[in-house]
Amino acid sequence: MHLRGSPLFYDGDVQSKGEEANECEVDGVAKKTNENKQLAQNKKASHDYFIEETFEAGMVLMGTEIKSVRSGKANINDAFATIRNGEMFIHNMHISPFEQGNRHNPTDPTRARKLLLHKGQIHKLLGQSKQEGYAIVPLKIYVRNGYAKLLIGLGKGKKQYDKRESAAKKDAQRDIQRALREKQKVAR
């Protein structure tokens, strides 16, 4: 007798190697998984920086912090990343304490948290972030395969005229899209 998940059981579902499953089967009932569920986003990052390169980093969380992150109680708007002794840390990322969590041993909501990256990625970020005008910016927090991930970007700071130019381009693009939608409505 072979059980589901054993290598000799075939149920007719073939999945290509690069494809990720969106459903998992538990007790014969298909349930949707929360793959890459976005939990927090730094909207000011694209306004203040030209993001040139992005990296996915794991986060070292303590106790019930992961439960708070999964419930969407994280804020990265004022956060920034630093590199010390070959390790990367994120500062000022606020994770609210979990209500049903360990009340006797609370952690500081804005403490510095270690980020997990490969050594080569850290060296690359260190070299590029030392250049004038570059910074390591947190972009968003999401969950992948049950682990909280932080997408960080290497960004070059925008000047005031760059911000105005970006806003003007967005407005022009929005007007074009609006005009196209109106034209399609009239054509119907």
pLDDT in tens, 63-100: 788 888 888 888 999 898 999 999 999 999 998 888 88
Q: Which domain holds residue 142?
A: 35-157
Task: Please report the pLDDT score of residue 100 as a whole number.
Answer: 81
Residue 165 lies in a domain: yes
Strand 80-84 and strand 74-75: the pairing is unpaired
Largest CA distance in the chain: 69
More confident residue, 5 or 157: 157
Confidence check: pLDDT of 105 > 60: yes
First CA to last CA distance, the chain: 59
Residue 18 lies in a domain: no
Amino acid at 10: Y
Statement to judge: residues 120 and 96 lie in one domain: yes
Statement to judge: residues 148 and 185 lie in one domain: no
Statement to judge: residues 110 and 163 lie in one domain: no
**Total structural domains within the chain:** 2
Percent of residues, the chain, with pLDDT higher than 90: 28
- The CA-based angle 102-41-178, given to 5 degrees, is 145
Statement to judge: residues 182 and 124 lie in one domain: no
Confidence check: pLDDT of 17 > 80: no
Statement to judge: residues 71 and 130 lie in one domain: yes
Statement to judge: residues 96 and 170 lie in one domain: no
**CATH number of 99's domain:** 2.40.280.10
Residue 89 lies in a domain: yes
Statement to judge: residues 94 and 132 lie in one domain: yes
Q: Which two tokens stand for residue 51?
A: 């993001």
Statement to judge: residues 116 and 144 lie in one domain: yes
More confident residue, 122 or 19: 122
The Cα–Cα gap between 130 and 79 comes to 18
Residue 106 lies in a domain: yes
Residue 22 lies in a domain: no
Q: What is the pTM assigned to this prediction?
A: 0.68
Helix, strand or coil for residue 154? strand
Decide: 102 and 63 in contact? Cβ < 8 Å: yes
